[in-house]
A and B are shown apart, each in its own frame.
Chain A
Amino acid sequence: MSARVRAFALSIAVLATLMVALLAPAIAALAPAAAAPLDAATGDALILAQEDDEEPAAEEDEDEDEDEDEAEASVLFGTFRNADGPVEGVQLTIAETGGSDLGEAVSGENGQWEFEVPGPGDYAVTVAALPEGVELRDPDNNTVEVTIGTGRRAVPLALGEGAAVSGKVALFLQQTLSGLRFGLIIAMTAVGLSLIFGTTGLINFAHGEIVIIGAVVAWFANIAGLHLVLAGAVGVAAAALTAGVLDRGVFRPLTRRGVGLFQLLVVTIGLSLVLRFIVLIFFGGRSQPYAQYAVQQRISVGPFATTPRDLVIIAIALVVLIGVATGIQRSRIGKAMRAVADNRDLAESSGINVERVVSVVWIAGGALAGLGGVLYGTMFRVSYDFGFQPMLLLMFAGIILGGLGTAYGAMIGSLVVGLVTELSVVYFPNELKTAWALGVLVIVLLVRPQGLLGRRERIG
């Protein structure tokens, strides 16, 4: 690569990154934010306030339901409050579920809003814009779906951390923990994707759907009465089975027939559509929580405010990932995997059963993806379509960051991606957090195309 061209490419990328960096806050500043002036609150007070704040939506629900007889029309309503009282200027959009937008509502001085919908039915209420310094309690879920008959129905959307500007430090710590948690989940799902690529050269666009199958099957088992722990195991098994079937039933026969890599890539795209929309047919378009651990009180662990659920998620993910890393490093099959990823032909000629190794990679990768899906569903909610955006995109970012085709690279890259994603929320709008993960990806492609841990290879 000539120095001139490299400099050109570098400057374009730096420009692009700067553009994103400048544009995002600029757009945020442009937004008509009628933020109520918020008094400074200490980190501790904030956390306490949040604990107190944990239930209001439900309480109000009951209060207001008494009004039901008075109203003939169907009205959605709610109140936004945070540590410092009512929050004015939260913009909402209301749409029919799976249908067209109906209109918008803005919370008033007392933090209240309401919206009359055409009639009974399912509606999705989305937070479209928040005043500066205000965040949703669950930043990953800015849409709530409700069913309404006639009368009034409270919409459980609550504000959470980020309420006060001086809470930045607390928020930073908070998001570091969230980022770690999210990064570990991405890492868990990305290991399989990366190893499948490493051993077969295939980019599996259907990997996100394996994640979904884990989460959704666990949800069905869960509502059928199984405790989430058992239901999760069922989900993981289903994901592993799906991956195994894809390997044995689709990709191995096609590879043996001599079908090319591009064609196989298109096959994974086709399969991802098939699986995603089959899930939509059975699971429906709404997002659903698991029966257990959906809402928990926060506890303080040192400077972090977190829930026991999150700690357990982090613990499970850490144990599993360390286990996987050790397995790949020490076990026979792990060594075989690395050998195949390193040089498939050489591995084959030195007596490794490549097809068997690939099978193990698919099934183990599928199980990990399924577990990632269950943990994601526990952390947020289960829906039919989180497999592609954000999960697959973030996995891609993670494995490119770490160096395509390696297991450790995928893990470390994914952790970085998770942290970047969640920490961007401290400074920038929540909706753009996936964009930041991509920004990192572009920079890495420029500076170190082989990824953080990848070996440098000859390019162009």
Chain B
Amino acid sequence: MPETTPHTMDAIEARPGVSKPDPILTIDGVQRNFGGLRAVDVDHLEIQRGVITALIGPNGAGKTTFFNLLTGFDAPNEGEWTFEGESLGGMPSHQVTRRGMVRTFQLTKALSRLTVMDNMLLGATGQRGEGFLPALFRPGWSQQEADNTARAEDLLTRFKLIDKKDDYAGELSGGQRKLLEMARALMVEPSLVMLDEPMAGVNPALVQSLLGHVTALRDEGMSVIFVEHDMDVVMGISDWVVVLAEGRVIAEGRPSDIMNNDAVIDAYLGSSHDEPTEE
């Protein structure tokens, strides 16, 4: 692990809403209500550039909803957030992606009846051949396609999927699909990768390799946010942890701060008792 990264976070106070030296994403007053239920209610949150931030919390804490809001898949009732200094409120999801903030899904969305390679190529942005008329004129895009294919092959090699490149994505195992989804997201060349439970449903043998890929993203200079509800998985690789419960940020800090935080322990134990009656 590079020396610099822990240093950046070491100096920061472990307090909800604390400001960071170089935030890539800043969230202000984002709220989302479903009927009478307030699923997300985040006053202020900053995500530091170039580190792995884990977003944890018990089931139903609003983690995925929060993700959906930030990436334009859902619209908040209130609130503002800026990515690289640009406000993203009300921006459609595909434009969010084009600005360099790419996400994956909790339930893997491998495009089953597309080949692994087609899945990868889809991730490339700015493709000339994706316009209707240019599509008819192959020489206009064949070079770009070849470059993208080469880049996709590199990524597939790194994610150990290169042998499967001509298989349908639907033929891959669950873990391989997770890997494919992550590799595909990298085709976008993002500056911030948002992973929604990348470890869910993956067999334990693959978890280590997945975690390795996540840390590799940071080491290449990307910022990573990932959602996880299993605290143990998180502690090993994250530089910073944000804890969500009932839609609010109840704690944030280094993994060591969070492990000993009473509010977090309460949230994990308490909510699992309260929740069924509330729904």
Partner of A2, one of B35, B73, B90: B90
> Chain B, 81-103, contact with A by CB distance < 8 Å: what is the 0/1 string?
00000000011100000000000
Q: Does A332 contact B (CB under 8 A)?
A: no
Q: Nearest-CB distance from B6 to chain A (Å)? A: 39
B65, chain A: closest CB distance, angstroms:
10
In chain A, residues 1-57, which have Cβ atoms closer than 8 Å to a Cβ of chain B? 1-3, 5
Among residues of B, the one whose C-beta sits closest to the C-beta of A3 is: B90
Q: Given A2, A455, A458, which contacts B92 in the complex, CB threshold below 8 Å?
A: A2
Residue of B nearest to A455 (CB): B35
Q: Which residues from A are CB-within-8-Å of B35?
A: 455
Could you tell me the distance between the alpha carbons of A1 and B92 in the complex, rounded to whole angstroms? 6
A contact face: mostly helix, strand, loop, or mixed: loop
Interface range on chain A (Cβ under 8 Å from partner): under 10
Task: Indicate the member of A3, A5, A458 with the most B CB atoms within 10 Å.
Answer: A458
B74 touches A2 (CB 8 A): no
Asked if B90 and A458 sit within 8 Å, CB to CB, the answer is no
Q: Mark B61-79, 1 if CB is under 8 A from A, else 0.
A: 0000000100001110000
Neighbouring A residues of B73 by C-beta, 8 Å: 458
Instruction: State the CA gap A458–B71 with chains docked (Å).
Output: 14
B73's nearest neighbour on chain A, judged by CB, is A458
Report the Cα distance A455→B74, complex, angstroms. 16
Question: Complex: how many Å from CA A2 to CA B75?
Answer: 10
- Indicate the member of B74, B75, B91, B92 with the most A CB atoms within 10 Å: B92
The complex places the Cα of A5 from the Cα of B72 at a distance, in Å, of 15
- Find out whether the CB atom of A458 lies under 8 angstroms from the CB atom of B74: yes
CA distance A2 to B89 in the complex (A): 10
A455 to B: closest C-beta gap in Å: 8
Which residues of chain B are within 8 angstroms of A3 by Cβ–Cβ distance? 90
Q: Residue of A at shortest CB range from B35?
A: A455
B28 to chain A, nearest CB (A): 21
Please indicate the chain A residues that have their CB under 8 angstroms from the CB of B68 in the complex: 458
Complex-state Cα separation, A1 to B95, whole angstroms: 12
A3 to B92 CA separation, bound complex (whole angstroms):
10
Q: Which residues of B contact A5 (CB under 8 A)?
A: 92
A455 to B91, CA, bound (A): 24
Chain B residues with CB under 8 Å of A455's CB are: 35
Residues of A within 8 Å of B92, CB to CB, are: 1-2, 5
Expressed in whole angstroms, the Cα–Cα distance for A2 and B73 within the complex equals: 12
| Contact indicator per residue, chain B 43-67, by CB within 8 Å of chain A (1) or not (0) | 0000000000000000000000000
A344 to B74: give the CA distance in the assembly, Å.
Answer: 24
User: Which partner residue on chain A sits nearest B93 by CB separation?
Assistant: A460
Q: Which residue of A lies closest to B75 (CB)?
A: A1
CA distance A455 to B35 in the complex (A): 9
Q: Which residues of B contact A1 (CB under 8 A)?
A: 75, 92
Q: Report the minimum CB–CB distance from A457 to chain B (whole Å).
A: 10
Report the Cα distance A362→B75, complex, angstroms.
Answer: 37
Closest CB-CB distance, A377 to chain B, in whole Å? 43
Please name all residues of chain B whose beta carbon is closer than 8 Å to the beta carbon of A2 when the two chains form the complex: 90-92
State in angstroms the CA–CA spacing of A1 and B74 once bound together. Answer: 9
Give min CB distance, A269 to chain B, whole Å: 23
Q: Specify the chain B residue showing the minimal Cβ separation from A2.
A: B92
Q: Which residue of B lies closest to A5 (CB)?
A: B92
> Which residues of chain A come closer than 8 Å to B91, judged between CB atoms?
2
What is the CA–CA distance of A458 and B35 in the complex, to the nearest angstrom? 13
Distance between A301 CB and nearest chain B CB, rounded to angstroms: 43
Task: Tell me, in angstroms, the Cα distance from A455 to B34 when the chains sit together.
Answer: 10
> What separation, in Å, do the CA atoms of A284 and B219 have in the docked complex?
77
* Distance, CA A262 to CA B189, complexed state (A): 36
Q: In the complex, A120→B35 CA distance in Å?
A: 68
Give the CA-CA distance A3 to B89 in the complex, in Å. 12
| B75: A residues at CB distance < 8 A | 1
Give per-residue flags for A147-182: 1 if the beta carbon is below 8 A from chain B beta carbons, else 0. 000000000000000000000000000000000000
CB distance from A95 to the nearest CB of B (A): 45
CB distance from A240 to the nearest CB of B (A): 37
A3 to B75, CA, bound (A): 12
Give A334 Cβ to nearest chain B Cβ, in Å. Answer: 22
- Please encode chain A, from 449 to 460, with 1 for each CB lying within 8 Å of some chain B CB and 0 for all others: 000000100100
Q: How far is the CA of A3 from the CA of B91 in the complex (A)?
A: 10
Q: Mark B178-222, 1 if CB is under 8 A from A, else 0.
A: 000000000000000000000000000000000000000000000
Q: Complex: how many Å from CA A1 to CA B94? A: 11
Min C-beta distance of A261 to chain B, whole Å: 16
Q: Nearest chain B CB to A330's CB is how many angstroms away?
A: 23
Residues A323-360 near B (CB distance < 8 A): none
Task: Kindly provide the distance from the CB of B67 to the nearest chain A CB, expressed in whole angstroms.
Answer: 13
Of chain A, the residue at the smallest CB distance from B90 is A2
Nearest Cβ on chain A to B34's Cβ, whole angstroms: 9
CB distance from B68 to the nearest CB of A (A): 8
In angstroms, Cα B73 to Cα A19, docked, is: 34
A410 to chain B: closest CB distance in Å?
A: 22
- How many Å from the CB of B106 to the closest CB on chain A? 15
Residue of A nearest to B68 (CB): A458
Residues of B near A458 (CB, < 8 A) are 68, 73-74
Closest beta carbon of chain B to A449's beta carbon, Å: 14
Residues of A with C-beta under 8 A to B90: 2-3
CA distance A47 to B45 in the complex (A): 73
A25 to chain B, nearest CB (A): 38
Q: Which residue of A lies closest to B91 (CB)?
A: A2
Minimum CB–CB distance from A318 to chain B (whole Å) comes to 32
What are 11 A-B residue pairs whose CB atoms fall within 8 Å in the complex? A1-B75, A1-B92, A2-B90, A2-B91, A2-B92, A3-B90, A5-B92, A455-B35, A458-B68, A458-B73, A458-B74
Q: Which residues of A contact B (CB under 8 A)?
A: 1-3, 5, 455, 458
Using A1-B75, A2-B92, A458-B68 as known contacts, list a sample of 8 further A-B pairs with CB atoms less than 8 Å apart, ordered by residue number in A. Answer: A1-B92, A2-B90, A2-B91, A3-B90, A5-B92, A455-B35, A458-B73, A458-B74
4 closest Cβ pairs, A-B complex: A2-B92, A458-B74, A2-B90, A3-B90
